[in-house]
Structure formats: C-alpha cells, structure tokens
Structure 1
Amino acid sequence: EDKRPLTWKNMLLLIGVSFFISSLSKDAGVMVASVLPVFDKATWTVLLVTATGLIVAMTPFGKIKGTEEVSNIMLYIVIAMIASRADISAMGNAPVWLAAGFLILLIHIAVMVILAKLIRLDIFTCAVASLANVGGTATAPVLAGAYSSALVPIGILMALLGNIIGTPGGAFVGYLMSLIG
C-alpha cells in the first residue's frame, strides 16, 4: 500500500501534463495521418497517446502519487466524448448493415466461446479480449480496471492489438459489404 499523501499539486501537475500530451498527440495524429494514411487521425492520436503514456509511466514521473486516479478520470472523459458523438437516430435506415453487424457480433461470440473452451481462458480474459475487439481502446481498460487497477495496462494492450488486427479486418468486411450494396 502506498502511504504517500495525495496532494493537489500532484493532481494538477498530472492533469496539466495529460492535457498537454493529449493536445500534442492530437496535432501529431493529424500530421501522421496525412503522411501515413494507414489509420485515421483519431487512431493515430490514440496510438501516440498510448505510446507516450507507456514511456512516461516508466520514468519517475509515472511514480507520482495520483497517476492512477488521473488516468481513470481521463479514460472516462474519452469514453464520454466518444459516446457524445454517437448518432443512433438513423439506425433503422440501413437494415442490411444492421443485420450484418449483428451477424458479425454473433460470429464474434461463437469464436470467443470456442477459444475460451479450447484454451481454457478465464472469464476476465475473455471479457477484456472481447471488449478490446468490439469496444476498442476506450472500453477495454475500463473493464480491466473493474477487476483490478493493475490490469488496466493489459486492457490497453489488448485494445491496441484489437485495433491493429481489427482495422484491416474491418476494412475487408467493409469491402465485402460494398460488393453487396
């Protein structure tokens, strides 16, 4: 148990540095996306923020009391920002796409259940891996943190792996859907 006191100075420093890094990463994500259009600017931003966070966490700065609290707050803010841009009013306008989405989720569930049985995965690993593939970088760490705060980095790594594998997979499924419609 960490006995150091949690001070406002530490919290303000951590919040300020996190906003600074996220602002720089957002600008860098736009620049990298224009040079390397493999991912969109949002994905590049998430990758840059995550890489920077992992690097900074290994320095003495990552040992400051309050990093866990601030990182959880920032993660919830990202989730809220993503959810605030969702538009569900037009869901019924594309029934084929909606049906295809449900079919993909059913296939995902079947694959996760089969893999869990074959290699004897625990429910935590299955849930985080599933959410890393379906929900992405914003939701997998939250679920991992619900089990234990020490597992948040594993959730982030699973989510990034889900992005790396899922982006080309999603592009392929999008191509297949363009052949249908």
Structure 2
Amino acid sequence: MIFTSDAVVLGLLMITLAVIFYTASLEHPFWKKLYTIVPPLLLCYFIPGLYNSFGIISGEKSKLYSVVSQYLLPACLVYFTLGMDFKAVLRLGPKALIVFFAGTLGVMLGGPVAVGIVKSVAPEVVGGQGADAVWRGLSTIAGSWIGGGANQTALKEIFQPSDRLFSQVIAVDVIVAEIWMAVLIYGAGQASKIDSFFKADASSIEELKHKLEKEQKVSQRLLTLKDLVLIGAVGFGATGLAHLFADFMAPWIKEHYPSLEKLSLTSSFFWVVSTVTLIGIVLSFTRLRQLEFAGASKIGSLFLYILVATIGMKMDIFAVAENPGLFAVGIIWMSMHVIITLVVAKLVNAPFFFTAVGSQANVGGAASAPVVAAAFHPSLASVGVLLSILGYAVGTYGGYLTGLMMQWVAE
C-alpha cells in the first residue's frame, strides 16, 4: 500500500474526479469517443477501485467512506429533494407522471421477478448468507434505478451487503443502465417516428420547451457567500436533526420490537435517510427552495461524486468476474422495467420524450436524466432534473420495499 493518510487519499480522489470531469468536457474526438463508450460515472467508480485493487490505497483501512456516508450523503439527499417544485412537476401533465411511476413500478416488480427467474435456473447466483446474501446487494441497484447514487448508498447502509458483493452489483448497475441510456439517446433522434407509432401528440413538448427557457433565464442567480452558508446550514442542520432522531428511534425499536430487525427498522441509517428525505420534501414547500436557483443541487452533486469515489475505493475490481450470472439478473430486471414503461406509455399515448426521460429519471437519476432530456432539446434538460428529483424523493422508500420483496423471493 502506497498511501495510508486519508488526507492524501481524499486529495487523490478529488484530483481523479477533476481529471474525469475535465476530459469529459473536452471536444477532442478521442475524449468524445472514449466517453461515448465508457461513461464518466463508471470511471468515477472504477478508477478508485483500481487504486484499491492494486494496493495504491486501502479502502478497508480508510475512514473516508464512513465520514462521507454519515455526513455528506444525508446532506446530498436534502439538496436534491429541496429543489422539488411540485407545481412544475404537475404542470408536466398526467402523462409524464404516469409514465415516470410506471417506470418506478417496473423497477420494483422487475427485481423480485428477475431474482425468481434466475433462482429457478441457477439458485447459487442469487443465494448467499449474511452480508453475502445477493438480495442485499441487489437492493442497492433498486435504490439506484428508482432514485440515484445517493439512494443506492443509503440502501447499502441499511441492508449492509459485503464490499465484495457490492463491487459485483455496481458493475451490473452501471453497465446495464448505461446500455439502456444509449438506446434512449438513439431513440431521441427517432422521436417523431416513435410518437407516430404511439399515436402521441408532442405539441405540448414544444410549449413546455419555450416556457422552461423563459423560467431558467428569470430564476437563475449568482451564488453568494450568504447562499453558501444557508445551503450548508440547511443540509447539515437537517443531517444533525436526522441523526438525533435516529439515535433515539433505532435503539427504541430494537428494545421494544426486535422482530422488526428483519425489515431493517432497527438500522439507525434507515431513520437518518428517511428523515432527511422527508425534511427536504417539506422544505421544498418553503422559501428555502429558492436555494436551488443558487446551486444547492450542484453542491449535492459534488457530494454525490465524492461519495461515488469513496464507494469505488472500497471495491475489488477482480471480484466483478466472480458472479457473472448477476448480469442475467440485471438484464431481466431492466427488461421488465422497459416493458412496463413502454406498455403504459402506449396505453396513455405519451410522447416518447416523457417515456425516455421518465425511464431515465428512474434508472439514471440526476446524473443522466438531464442528458437524455437534452438529447431532445437543451432547454428540456430541466425536465430531467425535475423528474429525477422526484426519483430521489421516492428512491429510498421504493428501493427499500423492493429489497424486502427480493429477500422474500430469494429466501
């Protein structure tokens, strides 16, 4: 092991993230082609994983992940849900929300169905005991595919899969999700043909596009020191309250209702993430929501990518090849999500834009839903943000229920 100081490790991770984001922004053909094949999010996981696998750092001995997951993750969830504008979400119309929640349902049903199908053919793929029980790792994919990386980490802390198992499911999560994202971006170029097949009227998308362009110009403002202090107070204040509540609630349930441990209700972190998500949703109805226009979700995204890097440094890259059958689970699971989303979109004659963005808001979250939305038109990126924030709000709860269903099927 070369670097043992967490200060050095943190510096190395931040430089790594900076290099990834800088090169991903370049227009040079080499970098554009590379990031078309290998998504930046995958590198944010796997480069720190390589550092750990080759002994440059030790994810096992470092305390960075525990600090980031306890402090930055809850604040990150607050920042993502704080920007929720329920009026704007409702203005998207019922079709957008119907398709979005159809995608959520597809993920929630697809997980247990995929586990059941693979179990009937190769039970060892979805078996395991204790921290190596495969359903624990798969539950984190449910959090990722309904909400995003923050929800995924929240469920990792709740269900406690082993680091080795988590290394395996991360690969399934990112690779399967990115393949589907590539299909959606290709579909954006064929949107008129697809809308014709679905008999969908896309005129509302044009109207929405012009309205959003106007709103973005009026609402955006420069970040000030006062804004930064308020953003910090909201995020870490909510985190402190959530920890205070969890420190009381988890031991109380463990003492009085120990049987609820099977539902992870004795997990302190379950109460932390549930509480901060609820606080963020409540604050989104107050004037503090204006902090979103000062960049609250951007700070949340920074925290999220630091979190992704610290997760990555605990990964053993070589463990990914140990259970290739998990990719079968991921493919069946994603197929269920796709089928349910498309069937519902066809039933309500939803424009392909709502289908693509609603699906990606579930599967990719705030990191990639705006990218898919922008493939239709740059001004529509905020629709991806809106729906992905909705995903963050329901991701932990939906992923938690999906995890319990997969546990029931696997056992």
The question of a shared fold, defined as TM-score above 0.5 by the shorter chain, is answered with yes
Aligned to 1:60: 287
SS at match of 1:105: helix
The offset of 1:81, in angstroms, is 0.7
The aligned amino acid for 1:46 is V
- Structure 2 length-normalised TM: 0.35
Q: TM (normalized to structure 1)? A: 0.68
Letter of the structure 1 residue corresponding to residue 245 of structure 2: A
1:177 is matched by which residue type in structure 2? A
Give per-residue Cα distances to partners, 1:85-119, cap 9 Å, x unaligned: 14362222123333222211122222222222222
Match of 1:91 in 2: 320
Q: CA deviation at 1:22?
A: 2.5
Aligned residue for 1:58, secondary structure, equals coil
Match of 2:134 in 1: none
Larger relative contact order, structure 1 or 2 (CA cutoff 8 Å, min sep 6): 2
Confirm whether residue 15 of structure 1 aligns to residue 209 of structure 2: no
Q: Structure 1 residues 175, 162: closer, same or farther in 2, change over 3 A?
A: same
Alignment partner of 1:77 is 2:303 = yes
1:105 is aligned, of 334, 344, 350, to: 334
Shift of 1:166: 4.1
Letter in 2 for 1:78: L
Amino acid at match of 1:25: A
Relative to 1, partners in 2 of residues 1:165 and 1:13: Cα closer, same or farther, differing over 3 Å?
closer
Do the aligned residues in 1 keep the contact of 2:238 with 2:276 (CA within 8 Å)? yes
**Correspondence 1:174 to 2:403:** no
| Structure 1 residue 69 displacement after superposition | 0.5
Mapped to 2, the partners of 1:161 and 1:33 lie a distance apart of: 21
Q: Distance in 2 between matches of 1:142 and 1:27?
A: 33
Summarize deviations over 1:35-69 as a string: whole Å, max 9, x none: 375455545433322221222233333335x6540
Moved more, 101-110 or 18-27: 18-27
Identical positions, percent: 25
SS in 2 for 1:77: helix
Larger radius of gyration: 2
Please name the residue that 1:155 is paired with.
Answer: 388
Aligned residues: 174
Distance 1:117 1:13, change over 3 A: same
For 2:350, what is the secondary structure of its paired residue?
coil
User: What is the root-mean-square deviation in Å for CA atoms of aligned residues?
Assistant: 3.5
